[in-house]
Amino acid sequence: MAAASSGFDQLLKVSARTRVRRLAAVGGNLATAWLGAIAMAHRLERQPCLDAINRWAGSITRDLGLAVVTKGPGRPAEGGGVLFVANHVSWLDICAIASLTGTLFVAKSEVASWPVIGRIAASFGNFLHERGNLLDVARVKRRVAGALHQNWRVTVFPEGTTGWGSALGPFYPALAQAAIDAGARVQPVAIRYWDAHGRPSQAAPFVGEQTFVNSLRGILREPGITAELHFGPPFAAAGRTRREITRITHRFIAEALGVDESRIAADPRRLRRRGAH
> Letter for the amino acid at 130?
E
Whole-angstrom distance, CA of residue 184 vs CA of residue 135: 23
**What pTM was computed for the model?**
0.81
Chain segment 102-155, per-residue pLDDT in tens: 788 887 656 655 555 655 555 555 677 666 677 788 888 999 999 999 998 999
* Main-chain phi, psi angles of 189, to 5 degrees: -135, 120
- For residue 112, how many other CB atoms are within 10 A of its CB? 14
pLDDT digits (tens, 9 = 90+) for 218-259: 888 898 899 999 999 999 999 999 999 999 999 999 999 998
- pLDDT bin (cut points 50, 70, 90) of residue 78 is confident
In three-state form (DSSP H/G/I as H, E/B as E, the rest C), the secondary structure along the chain is CHHHHHHHHHHCCCCHHHHHHHHHHHHHHHHHHHHHHHHCHHHCCHHHHHHHHHHHHHHHHHHHCEEEEEECCCCCCCCCCEEEEECCCCCHHHHHHHHHCCCEEEEEHHHHHCCCHHHHHHHCCCEEECCCCHHHHHHHHHHHHHHHHCCCEEEECCCCCCCCCCCCCCECCCCHHHHHHHCCEEEEEEEEEECCCCCECCCCCCCCCCCHHHHHHHHHHCCCEEEEEEECCCEECCCCCHHHHHHHHHHHHHHHHCCCCCCCECCHHHHHHHHHC
Q: CA-CA distance, 135 to 130, in Å (whole number)?
A: 9
In angstroms, the CA 64 to CA 172 distance is 31
For the chain, give the mean pLDDT: 79
Distance between CA 177 and CA 242 in Å, rounded?
Answer: 5
Parse the chain into domains and list their residue ranges: 2-276
How far is it, in rounded angstroms, from Cα 188 to Cα 250?
8
**Residue 269 confidence class, pLDDT cut points 50, 70, 90:** very low
Q: Are 65 and 225 in contact (CB under 8 A)?
A: yes
110 burial type by CB count under 10 A (0-12 exposed, 13-18 middle, 19+ buried)? exposed
CA 62 distance to own-chain centroid: 17
Q: Are 30 and 117 within 8 A, CB to CB?
A: yes
Q: Residue 79's pLDDT band (boundaries 50, 70, 90)?
A: confident
